[in-house]
Amino acid sequence: MRSPHVLIIVQNLPVPLDRRVWLECQTLTAAGYEVSVICPKGPGDPGYEVLEGVHLYKYRPPPQADGAVGYAWEFVYCWIRTAWLSMRVRLRRRFDVLQACNPPDTYWALALLWRVFGVRFVFDHHDLNPEVFLSRFGRPKGLLGRLQLGFLKFLERRTFRTADRVISTNASYQRIAWERGGVAPERTSIVRSGPDTSVMRPVDGVDSLRRGGSHLVVYLGIMGPQDGVDGVLDVAERVVHGLARTDVRFALLGFGDCLEDLKRRASEDGLDDYVEFTGRVGPEQITRYLSTASAGLSPDPLSPLNDVSTMNKTMEYMAYALPVVAYRLTETVVSAGDCAVYVEPGDSDGLADALVALLDDPERRARLGAAGRRRAERELDWVPQSEAYLNVYDELLGRQSPKVPHGSAAPKETLDRWGNRLVDLGDERALREFAGSRKVPAQAELKG
């Protein structure tokens, strides 16, 4: 019997860099589905490759967009390149389902074209484009702004109404699918972007990453206008210059539209000795930085988008037993529960003060870090999310997939695949000791 073939479309990140989409690919292939992906190229990526059984078709990304005309050209360019590659996929083998991950909300039109050939459409709802607009530009007052916002809402409605199934990343997004998208509840499912805690595991901290400081503070994620990464520099300026804490270093891991502006501002503020920008990072670098850091920052400001969006970085910090300092946003609290230190949105001085208080309290860091790791394992992990995700496809196609085996969250290995010493997650005392010190404790120390 022919295995079903799923084509996944992603525009804003290459795969496997897009962690959520790569976990979805792995879930489907482990259950016997064939998977193809169309996405932009990352640095050095080939146009086509098969990686762990997944067929990756990639196109050269367009230049960075600037202004409404630039964004319109980006959408048209990516849509045309994706449509062309979808025909290449079809020539290799017929696909049964097209899954589109937004942004943007434009691939419903491609789904309609393929529907003629019996292809079903799954919408994996990653972002709220009308809220992105409102968060960046505010409520429009002029005619042009209202037309732009209205067009984004039109595209979103068409995406919702074209989809055979809608996958929401949290309950807030699911409610928008019901109320604004008019999607019947039985056609929606929640699949959170949970970390795979069998892979994301804390290791021995790397002293050199602290660059001479006593503490390292990290930010991990995209650096766009709505992400509040400038707030990290506000915190760094207060910590280093305002509070004279020259023992604290900051590392900003990731890339985005604001990266160069952030670098310039750090230099202007005299923070070059204290703030590091790593650019794009892979799993090995993420593991080492998040295992070395004393705290992780989630500085996302309150906005129509951020308040109802799940921040992957918050859950990834927790997977590495890293205490979190964050603004109190609705879905951030849903993710982190009582495993984070919260500050009221907009209080950047309060965020800095809360961070310093946490850095000076190793017992609190040990408690929050260990609790965060356990919450990531028991409530946020990808394993239950993968089952919900697979159910969407099985129900859509009338299929019963075999149960997918999952790795243990606490394997017996003492070293990870890069040779770093792993924390013994089966030992609660060892986990708490690591969460406070960021060093894997020796067994003799634990027994003593």
**Global pTM exceeds 0.75:** yes
413 occurs within a structural domain: no
Question: Is 135 a residue whose pLDDT tops 90?
Answer: no
For residue 211, the SS3 value is: coil
How many angstroms separate the CA atoms of 293 and 377, rounded? 20
299, 235 in Cβ contact below 8 A?
yes
How many angstroms separate the CA atoms of 389 and 24, rounded? 8
What is the reported pLDDT for 137? Answer: 85
123 occurs within a structural domain: yes
What is the reported pLDDT for 408? Answer: 46
What is the reported pLDDT for 111? Answer: 98
For 356-404, how does the pLDDT look when each residue is reduced to its tens digit (9 = 90+)? 999 999 999 999 999 999 999 999 999 999 999 999 999 999 998 887 6
- Residue at a domain's end among 349, 377, 405: 377
In the structure, what pLDDT confidence band is assigned to residue 447 with cuts at 50, 70 and 90?
A: very low
What is the reported pLDDT for 445? Answer: 46
Regarding whether 248 and 356 lie in a shared domain, the answer is: yes
334-373: b (≥16 Cβ within 10 Å) or e: bbbeebbbbbebeebebbbbbbbebbeeeebbbbbbbbbb
Question: Is 218 a residue whose pLDDT tops 60?
Answer: yes
In the structure, what pLDDT confidence band is assigned to residue 444 with cuts at 50, 70 and 90?
A: very low
- If one counts the domains in the chain, the total is 2
416 occurs within a structural domain: no
416, 203 in Cβ contact below 8 A?
yes
Tell me the C-alpha to C-alpha distance, in Å, between residue 360 and each of 153, 211, 244, 249: 47, 19, 14, 14
What is the reported pLDDT for 446? Answer: 45
Question: Is 142 a residue whose pLDDT tops 70?
Answer: yes
Which residues neighbour 198 within 8 Å (Cβ) at sequence distance 6 or greater?
406, 407, 408, 409, 411
Sheet containing strand 5-10, edge to edge, reads 48-51, 54-59, 34-40, 5-10, 97-101, 120-125, 165-168, 188-190
Regarding whether 343 and 262 lie in a shared domain, the answer is: yes
The two tokens of residue 379 are 């409530």
146 occurs within a structural domain: yes
Question: Is 47 a residue whose pLDDT tops 70?
Answer: yes
293, 267 in Cβ contact below 8 A?
no
Give the other-Cβ count within 10 Å of 150's Cβ.
12
Cα 290–chain centre separation: 15
Tell me the C-alpha to C-alpha distance, in Å, between residue 298 and each of 157, 311, 312, 355, 439: 31, 8, 10, 11, 23
Regarding whether 180 and 83 lie in a shared domain, the answer is: yes
Regarding whether 366 and 352 lie in a shared domain, the answer is: yes
For 150-159, how does the pLDDT look when each residue is reduced to its tens digit (9 = 90+)? 999 999 999 9
What is the reported pLDDT for 403? Answer: 73
What average pLDDT score do residues 82-106 get? 97
What average pLDDT score do residues 233-247 get? 97
393 occurs within a structural domain: yes
Regarding whether 115 and 9 lie in a shared domain, the answer is: yes
How many angstroms separate the CA atoms of 325 and 338, rounded? 11
Of the two residues 318 and 447, the one the predictor is more confident about is 318
Containing domain of residue 178, as a range? Answer: 5-195+382-397
Regarding whether 247 and 152 lie in a shared domain, the answer is: no
For residue 352, the SS3 value is: helix
Question: Is 43 a residue whose pLDDT tops 60?
Answer: yes
Q: Taking all residues of the chain, what is their mean pLDDT, rounded to a whole number? A: 93
How many angstroms separate the CA atoms of 212 and 273, rounded? 10
What is the reported pLDDT for 413? Answer: 78
Name the pairing type of β-strands 48-51 and 54-59. Answer: antiparallel
Regarding whether 66 and 92 lie in a shared domain, the answer is: yes
Question: Is 244 a residue whose pLDDT tops 50?
Answer: yes
The closest of 324, 327, 388 to 358, measured between CA atoms, is 324
Q: What is the share, in percent, of the chain residues with pLDDT greater than 90?
A: 85
For 245-288, how does the pLDDT look when each residue is reduced to its tens digit (9 = 90+)? 999 999 999 998 899 999 999 999 999 999 999 999 999 999 99
326 occurs within a structural domain: yes
183 occurs within a structural domain: yes
The two tokens of residue 231 are 């707030």
Regarding whether 370 and 329 lie in a shared domain, the answer is: yes
What is the reported pLDDT for 443? Answer: 61
For 409-427, how does the pLDDT look when each residue is reduced to its tens digit (9 = 90+)? 445 678 999 999 999 999 9
Question: Is 224 a residue whose pLDDT tops 90?
Answer: no
Regarding whether 250 and 363 lie in a shared domain, the answer is: yes
69-101: b (≥16 Cβ within 10 Å) or e: eeeeebbebbbebbbebbeebbeeeebbbbbbb
18, 47 in Cβ contact below 8 A?
no
Regarding whether 339 and 387 lie in a shared domain, the answer is: no
Q: Where are the alpha helices (DSSP H) in 337-405?
A: 348-359, 362-375, 382-397
Question: Is 206 a residue whose pLDDT tops 90?
Answer: yes
Regarding whether 169 and 58 lie in a shared domain, the answer is: yes
The CATH code of the domain that includes 155 is 3.40.50.2000
How many angstroms separate the CA atoms of 26 and 20, rounded? 10
Regarding whether 135 and 272 lie in a shared domain, the answer is: no
What is the reported pLDDT for 74? Answer: 87
What is the reported pLDDT for 404? Answer: 62
Q: Where are the alpha helices (DSSP H) in 183-300?
A: 230-237, 259-268, 283-292
- Residue at a domain's end among 377, 412, 435: 377
410 occurs within a structural domain: no
What is the reported pLDDT for 402? Answer: 80
- Residue at a domain's end among 321, 348, 377: 377
How many angstroms separate the CA atoms of 341 and 215, rounded? 17
